[in-house]
Structures are given as C-alpha cells and as structure tokens.
Structure 1
Amino acid sequence: MESHKDHIHLLIECNPQHYIPSIVKAFKGVSARLLFKKHPELKQQLWGGHLWNPRYFVATGSNNTEKQIRAYIQSQKKK
C-alpha cells in the first residue's frame, strides 16, 4: 500500500472467485469506521461526512506484471 494526499495504491492478491467490488467496499467501510471512531471530528471536515469517494480503479495483473506494478507503486513515493 502507498498513500498520497488524496488517494492510495493497493496491490491485492485474491482468488478469481472473489468479487472485487465486495473487497473494495469492505476495505473502505472498515477503514472509514476505524478512522471516524478514533477521530470523530474528521467526519464533519470531510466530503459530506464520507471518507472515500464511491469510485475506484481496478486493474488485473499476472505474475509477470506484478513486479512492474510494485515498481510503479514504489515510484509514486517520489512524486
């Protein structure tokens, strides 16, 4: 995972039978719940009380492209 001011990059490995929207929904829901529990004042400061934008981008990769994806995520630290 690599985080930025307004977005994050995640590299997740899952089996093909997993439904990607459910994984994203769970990640967003749990992370928002934990953050707002620890810092309830943030809910009033954020986009209508929402931590996450409802949109997201997903790309699939193979063992061959995993190294390239990791390199891309790491390169984003420098920007």
Structure 2
Amino acid sequence: MQKYSNDLNYARSSVYSLQYHLILVTKYRRDVLIGDVKVELEELLRNMTEKFSGEIMEINIMPDHVHMLVDASPKHSISSMMKGYKGVSARMLFMHHPEIKKKLWGGHLWQPSYFACTVSERSEELIREYIRRQKKSKGKR
C-alpha cells in the first residue's frame, strides 16, 4: 500500500505526516552500488525503515548515491535513522560483498555527511519525479 503525504499516520500518542527526502553518498563517490550490492542495499534500507516505523515511498539507487523519499515516524530522529542506515548497510554489504571494500581502499562505505529535507504536500510529487529521473539522466549502470 502506497502512502501519500496527505495521509495521516496514527500512533498511540500522536497523529503525524512526516516525509523526508534523504540522500546517502558513497565515500569518494565510488561506483559500488551496482548489481547484487544494489539489490541487497534496497532490501536492507526497506527493512530498516520498517523497523523505524516508516516506509520508503520512493527509492533510486545510483552507483554512487541513494535517493529516498521516506514516510517517517516522529519516534526516531533523522540523525539516528541515518546512523542506522549507514552502519547496518555498510556492515552487511562489506560482509556479503568484500570486493567493494577494495574499491574503497579498505575504508568506509558512506561519506560522513548526508542530505535530508522535509517534504511538503506541494513538493512531494516534484521530489518523486526528481528521484525517478535520476536513473534516466545518469544512464543505466
């Protein structure tokens, strides 16, 4: 079931509608998010978002960065979500795909910084379209 920003979420002590456009970038902008790594990363991110009581409404994984439109719960801060996304995904991907560590000189998978912005009802479709267009504008890798 797909949610849109005008749908409200109900929790025991709150009613909310919080959407964020999040971007994670690989260290050194290395093209490592391809093939099986890309597939596994999407599954990891979706599972983690569910554990954060949220839902990924739109996602596009490019070889060197990830765009997500996330419907989030106020129970978790963006910084704690991003820390979880980066930490768990790096650990799991390095364990299952050790070859990507070589492309990163044995270092970290993600840049230490990230992008996050709130999404209003008026801007949601623009951000969805932007995320979808990323694949077309950068070519399929």
TM-score when normalising by structure 1: 0.85
* Shift in Å, 1:41: 3.5
Distance across 1 between alignment mates of 2:82 and 2:105: 19
* Shift in Å, 1:67: 1.2
- Corresponding residue number in structure 2 for 1:8: 66
**Structure with a larger share of its residues in helix:** 1
- Corresponding residue number in structure 2 for 1:30: 88
Deviations 1:29-74 (A, max 9, x none): 1111111111224324315510001011111012332111100100
> Which moved further from structure 2: 60-69 or 19-28?
60-69
RMSD over aligned Cα atoms: 1.6
Q: How many pairs align?
A: 79
> Which moved further from structure 2: 36-45 or 47-56?
36-45
Q: Return the letter of the residue paired with 1:11.
A: L
Distance across 2 between alignment mates of 1:34 and 1:59: 27
- Corresponding residue number in structure 2 for 1:70: 128
- Corresponding residue number in structure 2 for 1:40: 98
Q: Structure 1's 4 and 27: CA in aligned 2 closer, same or farther, altered over 3 A?
A: same
Distance across 1 between alignment mates of 2:105 and 2:67: 20
Structure 2 residues not aligned, in runs of 5+: 1-58
Instruction: Calculate percent identity across the aligned residue pairs.
Output: 52
Q: Return the letter of the residue paired with 1:14.
A: A
- Corresponding residue number in structure 2 for 1:57: 115
Q: Return the letter of the residue paired with 2:88.
A: V
Deviations 1:5-51 (A, max 9, x none): 22110111113342101001101111111111112243243155100
TM-score when normalising by structure 2: 0.51
